Amino acid sequence: MPADILSRLCLPVPLVCDGAIGTYLQARGLPAGTPPELWNIEQPDEVRALHRAYLEAGSQILTTNTFSGNRLRMPDTLGGHPRAELVRRGVELAREVAGDTLWVAASMGPTGRLLEPYGDLSCDLAEEAYAEQAQIMAEAGADVILIETMSDVLEARAALLGAQRATRLPVFVTFAFDETGRTMMGAPAAEACREMQAVGAAAIGANCGAGPAAVIVALTQMARATSLPLIGQPNAGVPRLEAGETVWDSTPDEFAEHARRLIEIGARVIGACCGSTPAHILAIRTAIEAAQA
């Protein structure tokens, strides 16, 4: 096991996380619309190669290919494989590549359903589903539970409580924000931050959403609201369609600039999200090293 990540987060030098998984695997041939987790069993070499590419680019934390592994989101079997097995293998593949020097962050994304009173999902049911996924991932060797791309503070709270109930691992929570620093459900970044701190998140931040500028706005607001370590993982701009292809505009050079801004704000974990590649992570790593020089 690598050193305790919470002590490492106390140091001022930010940790480098990794970048996109879904869009990266799609570029490697995963058909659009197919859950990426399927490849944890059907194409494990591709998933290992993805983790290795991020490791070589300088990632110190590897994120597992388990984002959609919640039982409210994924059916009990997928392509003939039990869901729990797809999730477990996702963590094991990242652990294999991370060895005992890098950290493994086990990803849990939203259920895709609306919680009461806006939808019909109860907080208890959501919490239970997250607890189940977190337990599988902890037993498979994760170092941290990473709840990410959340747009509802209530659902993030249920996920955090579920993870805490099922494991003793530290839990990081990141939300997707719009350009004004609000979640899709309208919660301001500072409020999301305070709620997660109150329930015991170990770190809090922003990922995906409306591109790097939105992450910078949200983290600036969070920095005023909390003393918890901050995480910034923007996507490579907002995707657009060009001749039927999805295009992500933010280049690695631009990511170096975003990383410099995130370092100034005080981010302790910097990575990237959809549309990014190992080249974006290398740019982040280089910016962090330059800032220490």
Q: Residue 290 Cβ, how far from Zn ion at the closest point, in Å?
A: 26
Nearer to Zn ion (CB atom), residue 162 or residue 212: 212
Site for Zn ion in 274-293 (CB under 5 A): 274
Question: From the list 68, 164, 235, 277, which residue makes contact with Zn ion (rule: CB under 5 A)?
Answer: 235
Does residue 272 touch Zn ion according to CB under 5 A? no
- Is beta strand 230-234 parallel, antiparallel or unpaired with respect to 240-242? unpaired
Nearer to Zn ion (CB atom), residue 208 or residue 259: 208
The residues, ordered by sequence, that sit 6+ positions from 95 with a Cβ below 8 Å of its Cβ are: 104, 140, 141, 142
Using CA atoms, how far apart are residues 207 and 246, in angstroms rounded to an integer? 19
Closest by Cα among 249, 176, 240 to 209: 176
Nearer to Zn ion (CB atom), residue 164 or residue 276: 276
Does residue 214 touch Zn ion according to CB under 5 A? no
Using CA atoms, how far apart are residues 189 and 289, in angstroms rounded to an integer? 28
Q: Residue 255 Cβ, how far from Zn ion at the closest point, in Å?
A: 14
Site for Zn ion in 131-150 (CB under 5 A): none
Number of residues written out for the chain = 293
Give the interface segment with Zn ion, choosing from 116-124, 182-190, 253-261, 265-273 (CB under 5 A): 265-273
- 101-128 per-residue burial string, b: 16 or more CB within 10 A, e: under 16: ebbbbbbbbbbebebeeeeebeeebbbb
Nearer to Zn ion (CB atom), residue 105 or residue 273: 273
For residue 152, give Cα distances in angstroms to 113, 147, 194, 227, 280.
10, 12, 14, 22, 28
Does residue 208 touch Zn ion according to CB under 5 A? yes
Q: Residue 198 Cβ, how far from Zn ion at the closest point, in Å?
A: 26
Nearer to Zn ion (CB atom), residue 273 or residue 282: 273
Give the interface segment with Zn ion, choosing from 9-17, 178-186, 233-241, 242-250 (CB under 5 A): 233-241
Cis peptide before 36 (omega within 30 of 0): no
Contact between 125 and 72 under an 8 Å Cβ cutoff? The reply is yes
Does residue 273 touch Zn ion according to CB under 5 A? yes
Q: Which residues bind Zn ion (CB under 5 A)?
A: 208, 235, 273-274
